[in-house]
A = this chain, B = another copy of it.
Amino acid sequence: MALDHAILVSLLEKPGSGYELARRFERSIGYFWTATHQQIYRVLKRLESEGALTVRDVPQRGRPDKKEYSVADPGRAALSRWLHEPIEPESLRHDLAVKIRGAAFDDPAALIDEVERHHQVHSGRLAHYLTGELRDFTGPDAPVPLDAGQELQHVVLRGGIAYERMTIAWLDDVLATLHTLSSRAGLAVGGPSAHSA
């Protein structure tokens, strides 16, 4: 289960509360793993009961107290064990691709808006990643040289950037295909004036 390990890595990078972890999963860690706060709270509890984490109650003024979790030695050891185990290359689950193949049995043109919406979302993510890259790794305020942890974070971020660029190019390809098919649909072999069923 990689959620355990993703949480351990994130807490090693910086201790924090369940709420803070949930925010990180919307940002940097979220580039490659998603989780909701419900999942996170459950796993934090389990990892603490297993001794992998320690908690510290942090009272706050004007805010609910928070529980700050840190990685304990057994947690670090469990992570290290996992790092040395081989894992399966992941398999995709891509709803949009199911839709595209399904469109053959419906109206392909009806998918155009949906694909354009996905295009916008991915363009937004790319812009966000590029901003983060400039801020943390390649801009004038970035540390020089980067330490090992930062180099590794950077190469993961480059993966996210490459993924978004590839996806955007593919969505352009999909849009071109859908446009071709819908203009083709109006035409029979003899030309625009041909009879239709």
Residues of chain A having any CB pair with chain B under 8 Å: 2, 5-6, 8-9, 12-13, 30-34, 76, 79-80, 82-84, 86-106, 108, 110-111, 114, 117-118, 121-122, 148-149, 151-156, 158-160, 162-163, 165-166, 169-170, 173-174, 177, 180-181, 184-185
Contacts and interface: CB of A to CB of B under 8 A. Distances in A.
A122 B158 CA distance: 18
Contact of A96 (B12, B90, B122): B90
A97 to B, nearest CB: 4
Contact of A104 (B8, B31, B149): B149
A184 B12 CA distance: 22
A155 B177 contact: yes
A98 B33 contact: yes
A174 B151 CA distance: 10
Given A5-B102, A98-B32, A90 B89 contact: no
Copies of the chain in the assembly: 2
A89 B121 contact: yes
- Chain A binding surface SS class: helix
B95 A93 contact: no
Given A99-B87, A181-B151, A93 B166 contact: no
Nearest to A121: B89
A28 to B, nearest CB: 9
A76 to B, nearest CB: 7
B93 A79 contact: no
Contact of A93 (B33, B111, B169, B170): B33
A89 B111 CA distance: 14
Given A31-B92, A181-B148, A5 B104 contact: no
